[in-house]
Amino acid sequence: MADRSLTDKLCNASASGNLHEVSILLQDGAHVNGFNTYKRTALQVVKLGNSALVEHLLVARADPNIRDPVLSLTVTHDAAREGFADAVRALIQHGADVNLVDEKGNLPLHLAAREGHLTVVQLLMEHTINPQTPNGQGYTAGQLAREHRRIDTADYIDAYLGSREYHLWVIKIFVFKRYLKEIINKCSNCAFSGG
């Protein structure tokens, strides 16, 4: 296991955006998901606008779903809130769960909508299981966008939720759940034999 000083160096290099140093430290055995003195990983402290560095850490198997110890945020929450579309795209491609909520019940979608980051909202709408999920204060992403006067974002969300493709997707999910339930019921009645 990598020692704390190596992990601290990796996190410092990541925070300063030094891709070359991050590469060297990973080659020297720094654990990509190791925690620094402040209980953060290299991906949690990375400059999210540095797409090459974000991608490098993800390729090195950085876990995009590790939560911040204070606010229970993931890196996807941070990238969505700040409007880093390339980072959000890379995180999703490397297994980020966009359906995780922070301590206030916010999905990354809520944070992007509140800030009016339309490109990020467009990415997240495609991957969020239920884009109409309210946060801990009872607001949906669309409501947050409207309340914060992010009209283009709110209009996009409304149009997306009213689209034929979204409704077909909801129907497919419903049919899949029903089909899955039937399979489970059939399997629970099956007698399994060894051999």
pLDDT at 138: 98
The residue assigned the tokens 């410092």 is: 12
Q: Read off the tokens for 8.
A: 């601290």
- The DSSP line for 144-163 is HHHHTT-HHHHHHHHHHHTS
Q: Domains of the chain, with CATH numbers?
A: 1-63 (1.25.40.20), 71-163 (1.25.40.20)
- Whether the pLDDT of residue 193 is over 70: the answer is no
Residues 131-190: pLDDT tens digits? 999 999 999 999 999 999 999 999 999 999 988 676 676 677 777 777 777 788 777 766
Alpha-carbon gap, residue 36 to 54, rounded angstroms: 17
Say what angle helices 151-161 and 118-127 make with each other, to 10 degrees.
20
Q: Read off the tokens for 149.
A: 């006067």
Contacts with 93 (C-beta within 8 Å, 6 or more apart), sequence order: 58
End-to-end CA distance of the chain: 42
Mean pLDDT value across residues 48-71: 95
pLDDT at 192: 52
DSSP letter, residue 68? P
Q: To the nearest whole percent, how much of the chain has pLDDT over 70?
A: 89
Q: What is the value of pTM for the model shown? A: 0.82
Q: Would you call 57 helix, strand, or coil by DSSP?
A: helix
pLDDT at 183: 80
